[in-house]
Amino acid sequence: MLRLQSHPWVAEFRQRVGWGLQAFALPEDPAPAASILAAGRAADALGLDAFFIGDHPAYAPDAWLHLGVLAVQTSSIRLGSVVLCAGYRPPVLNARLAADLDHLSQGRVILGLGHGWNRKEFAQLGLPFPPVPERQEALEEAVQIIRGVWGSQPFTFHGKHHFTVDEQVTPPPVQQPGPPLILAGSGEKTALRLVAEYADACNFGSGHATGLVRTAEEVRHKNRVLD
């Protein structure tokens, strides 16, 4: 059993409105992998723009693994995760996986990243849960590293939270200079600044986890801030 959620913004980076589908595996589903893959194939057959999987490895099927399977089971739909938690994996690993998936899918990857919000899941994975400003700093460094190691030269970066030395992902992604990047967040001081500086699109979030409902006027206001 899946919870399916539509996204009207997934093709924003192509300067048009497009539709995608996000699949959430529910705990009561005895075969979540089969459900996710069937939903992805159906979305591709229906001609939707994108198919996304959530990133909750503590209690749901792994996003990267299942996107890799869908890369060879679909033909035209874009594939990604809304959104990967940057704190769950080193940035170079995310860069490598995104590049590999871009080759498997022949250039159909969208990379979604966020700083993470689920304190319990961080604990389940044995990871520290720093304050929001530190997680946002780490996200920005992760984006800089990912963009850097996709480049044409070995890349070195020393940050407060992440570093890499003489790294270059080869072969680089099919899409150049890299797959479209979606950053999650709606805070006007930091999150939207990161979106404006680094990203192709923003996931404001539907608010399911917090009970928050995004109104049309709130979304319009966030878009004005981005402009």
CATH number for position 9: 3.20.20.30
Convert the pLDDT of each residue in 163-187 to its tens digit. Answer: 999 999 999 999 999 999 999 876 6
Which pLDDT belongs to residue 210? 47
The residue with greater pLDDT, 43 or 205, is 43
Mean pLDDT rounded to a whole number for the chain: 87
Which pLDDT belongs to residue 227? 63
Predicted confidence band of residue 196 (pLDDT cuts 50, 70, 90): confident
- Domain assignment of residue 76, given as a range: 2-140+173-226
Which pLDDT belongs to residue 181? 95
Q: Is residue 32 part of a domain?
A: yes
Q: Is residue 154 part of a domain?
A: no
pTM of the entire predicted model: 0.87
Which pLDDT belongs to residue 218? 65
Q: Is residue 164 part of a domain?
A: no
Q: Percent of the chain, pLDDT > 90?
A: 66
Q: Is residue 159 part of a domain?
A: no
Q: Is residue 147 part of a domain?
A: no
Whether the Cβ atoms of residue 56 and residue 84 lie closer than 8 Å to each other: no
Q: Is 217 exposed, middle or buried (0-12, 13-18, 19+ CB in 10 A)?
A: exposed
Q: Is residue 37 part of a domain?
A: yes
Predicted confidence band of residue 192 (pLDDT cuts 50, 70, 90): confident
Q: Is residue 86 part of a domain?
A: yes
Beta strands in the chain (DSSP E): 2-7, 20-25, 50-53, 78-81, 84-85, 109-114, 155-158, 163-167, 181-184, 201-203
Residue among 79, 60, 59 at smallest CA distance from 69: 79
Average pLDDT of 72-79?
A: 97
Q: How many domains does the chain have?
A: 1
Which pLDDT belongs to residue 156? 99
Q: Is residue 206 part of a domain?
A: yes
Alpha carbon distance, N-terminus to C-terminus of the chain: 39
Q: Is 152 exposed, middle or buried (0-12, 13-18, 19+ CB in 10 A)?
A: exposed
